[in-house]
Amino acid sequence: MQAVKTTQTHHTFEVKPIAPWRLAEVEVGNEYRLDVTFMDGLKGFVDLSLWLKSNRIEGSLFEKLRDQAFFRQVSIELGVITWPNGADLSPAAMYDAIQQTGSWKPELSQ
């Protein structure tokens, strides 16, 4: 059996996040505002003030977020903004809006 010689070449390449719309950081601001940073470095803010004051969230998990102390318990789980009661926000929709305008406000109509 004949020996086979192989060689390795090293290539330099840029590693990009698999899901750039996943969140890396979140900070609570004033009046139901969240300052966010995504995995790819995109930064912006989320304004939940009108949405949380609307009737749209009555009886849902999001109603609890009206309590400022509870709202401040926001965290990131697997790249998604969440709260202890299971409420979470769509990072993909947030990312798209922030990429275009620098901010995201959830829709009030349904």
- The pLDDT of residue 11 is above 60: no
Pairing relationship of beta strands 75-77 and 80-82 according to DSSP bridges: antiparallel
User: Mean of the pLDDT values across residues 34-49?
Assistant: 96
Tell me the sheet residues that pair with 81. Answer: 76
Q: What CATH number does domain 23-104 carry, 1.10.3720.10, 1.10.510.10, 3.30.2020.10, 3.40.50.720?
A: 3.30.2020.10
- pLDDT tens track for 94-110: 999 999 999 999 987 55
- The pLDDT of residue 83 is above 60: yes
Q: Which residues contact 71 (CB under 8 A, 6 or more apart)?
A: 28, 32, 65, 83
Question: Is 91 within 8 Å of 46 (Cβ atoms)?
Answer: no
Q: What is the pTM of this model?
A: 0.79
Domain ranges across the chain: 23-104
- The pLDDT of residue 45 is above 50: yes
